[in-house]
Chains A and B, each alone.
Chain A
Amino acid sequence: MIRFDEVSKQYPGGHQALKQVSFELNKGEMAFLTGRSGAGKSTLLKLIMRTEELNQGQILVGNRNIHRMAASEIPFHRRRIGVVFQDHQLLFDRTVFDNVMLPLRIEGYDKHEAARRVRAALDKVGLLNKEKLNPVTLSGGEQQRVGIARAVVNRPQILLADEPTGNLDPDLAAEIMLLFEQFNQIGVSMLIASHDLSLITRLKHRILTLDHGSLIKDELQPSKQEPASRNSHGANV
């Protein structure tokens, strides 16, 4: 689903964010991306979204070399990927419902179909009763779940998350991870950046560890749901 071949990224000014990173995330696979702050986790996710350009190597997403895409194709590439941000990036000038609606509005969905999907997504994250509220009135955990609903509402094949539990206490963080596992079970490929080692080691998924831009560890942990092997395909695909 996602393949990195010898990918390097250097920011203007000289900071080497990624050094020859290679790995492959299979369809339906769930993996964590960990490492200290500044190890390159965010950069790696940004390269997949193509909000940053790489300097060397190539990245294939669904067998397409995304850094060879024309600029006009980038929006359509991003629509196939759901993203959850640490600071959730919700818009406080509209309701929870309208926030989750945004990806569907962008794709020009029929209103009724869109509303049905928004409610399904909100139901999934347990916030159906808060659809009319402004997200600013919600707690941190709820805001993050609205962010997740928005990321999955257009049924992406890939879900990326950048420190999705960074601002949450341990119980809420575990809640969010449980939600991610549920999406993974229905076949969504997931790559979750997190520095919360105690949380992610408990979850028995593959863990990619970055250190100063290099991929230093790629541990395959026996998963609860599937016999995880580097080349296995997701059980539910």
Chain B
Amino acid sequence: MDSGVKNSARPGPDRPNPSRPNPSRPGPSRPGGAKRGRSLGQKLKGLLGLHRDGAVDSLRRMRAQPLNTIMSLMVVAIALLLPALLYVGGKNMAQFGESLADTNRINFYLQTDISPTQIELLQTSMRDNTLVERVEFISANQAAADFAIWSGLGNIVESLDNNPLPASLVIHPVDTRADTAVQIRDAFANEDGVRQVTLDQAWVERLESLLQLVDRIVLALILVLSMAVLFITGNAIRTHIASREAEIRVMSLIGATRAFIARPFLYSGAWQGLLGAALAWIFVQLLLLLFRGPAQTLLAFYGEQYQFIGLDMRASLILLAGGLALGWAGAWLSVSRHMNRWH
């Protein structure tokens, strides 16, 4: 038992007043004190108190070493920042995916000499097809007007003597499956008056797989950087443990349970994760503030329905909860590795 902390004990100049240790006073060491009769309520209150102490104590220790704390928090924050930004980017790109899935349609460009009756007939037969949900007629004039607006080449279109654009029939299929679109195309491509058929399906599919890839990349980065956060806090807690070795030994000798010894370290891991995540959240908001203006302008070119999406409430909560859980888990890794030395 005589190991460890070297003491500074030396025969001091003081001589305790002989009357000081007072035997007549009720001693603190009467066996079987009140504690053995503590009620469940008192015990619960005691346990709550222990948790509060652990939480407060670990915060106080973080505050006592501001530079260390700030650096650890920054590392955690930066590790969490990247996946959060990618998530926001992915969210914004996904808007296009959704609205382009809506534009899943087949264009039948018509011959210029087609008669209105023929168009009417063609349109009716298309509507009767079970794979078709809706048919839209776009006249040559409307196509020219749309093109003028869409391309910004209004002057040139107006300057042309006759409209080079054909009228078209646009079919919206009942579903977004590729073979549905192909069946529809095959059904009507050879009808009289149809000059050309275009299918946007391939393009939509390409965009969708791109978005899926982005999703996977975000997921992989979240995993990798979560591991980073886990090991960063794990290492920080390991150094905390090393610096409090003497205290841990004394506490173990006077009857502290493993849970009691581990608690402040677990709390500091959790704090580190939570505060790191909060810092990451602030950084994300600052960066989004920076991106918002240009991004809004860019999105406006594609139409009013596109809005810049920030970090929503749900994602924010996941970020904070994730940080907390990772910090706790990192601390737990270090603590459990040291546990066996505490007896």
Contacts and interface: CB of A to CB of B under 8 A. Distances in A.
A49 B46 contact: no
Given A126-B20, A141-B11, A152-B29, A106 B256 contact: yes
Interface in B1-26: 1-2, 4-17, 20-23, 25-26
B1 A102 contact: no
B49 to A, nearest CB: 6
A75 B256 contact: yes
Interface stretch (A10-18, A176-184, A200-208, A215-223): A176-184
B29 A91 contact: no
A117 interface: yes
Nearest to B23: A182
Interface string B38-63: 00001101110110010000000000
A155 B25 contact: no
A115 interface: no
A121 interface: yes
B247 interface: yes
Contacts of A168: 9, 11
Contacts, number: 178
A111 interface: yes
A118 to B, nearest CB: 9
A198 B28 CA distance: 29
A92 B205 CA distance: 68
Given A79-B254, A110-B49, A88 B29 contact: no
Contacts of A76: 255
Contacts of B22: 123-124, 126
A126 B16 contact: yes
Contact of B2 (A86, A102, A136, A156): A86
A107 B253 contact: no
Contacts of A49: 1, 253
Interface residues of B, number: 53
Contacts of A103: 254-255
Contacts of A45: 1
A154 B256 CA distance: 13
Centre residue among A75, A93, A188 by max chain B CB count within 10 A: A75
B14 A139 contact: yes
B7 A162 contact: no
A109 B246 CA distance: 23
Interface in A39-65: 42, 45-46, 49, 51
Contacts of A175: 16, 21
Contacts of B35: 107, 109, 154-155
Contact of A159 (B11, B29, B43): B29
A75 B339 CA distance: 14
Interface residues of A, number: 74
A175 B20 CA distance: 10
Interface of B is mostly: loop
A64 B8 CA distance: 37
B294 interface: no
B254 A117 contact: no
Interface in A3-35: none
A232 interface: no
B42 A110 contact: yes
B28 A153 contact: yes
B28 A117 contact: yes
A81 to B, nearest CB: 8
B257 interface: yes
Contact of A79 (B8, B16, B26, B255): B255
Nearest to B29: A152
B30 interface: yes
Centre residue among B1, B8, B21, B32 by max chain A CB count within 10 A: B1
Contacts of B17: 126
A87 B4 contact: yes
Nearest to A28: B31
B28 A87 contact: no
Contact of A139 (B13, B20, B49): B13
B27 A183 contact: yes
Nearest to A138: B12
Interface string B250-261: 111111111010
B343 interface: yes
Interface string A85-115: 1111111010000000011011111110100
B33 interface: yes
Nearest to A50: B343
Interface string A125-151: 110000000001011111111000110
A182 B46 CA distance: 31
Contact of A124 (B5, B27, B53): B27
Given A87-B2, A108-B43, A168-B11, A102 B33 contact: no
A173 B35 CA distance: 32
Contact of A155 (B21, B33, B42): B33
A233 interface: no
Nearest to A113: B34
15 contacts: A49-B1, A75-B258, A87-B6, A89-B249, A106-B254, A107-B46, A110-B49, A139-B13, A152-B27, A152-B28, A156-B29, A182-B27, A183-B27, A183-B29, A187-B30
Closest 4 A/B residue pairs (Cβ): A139-B12, A108-B46, A126-B20, A140-B9
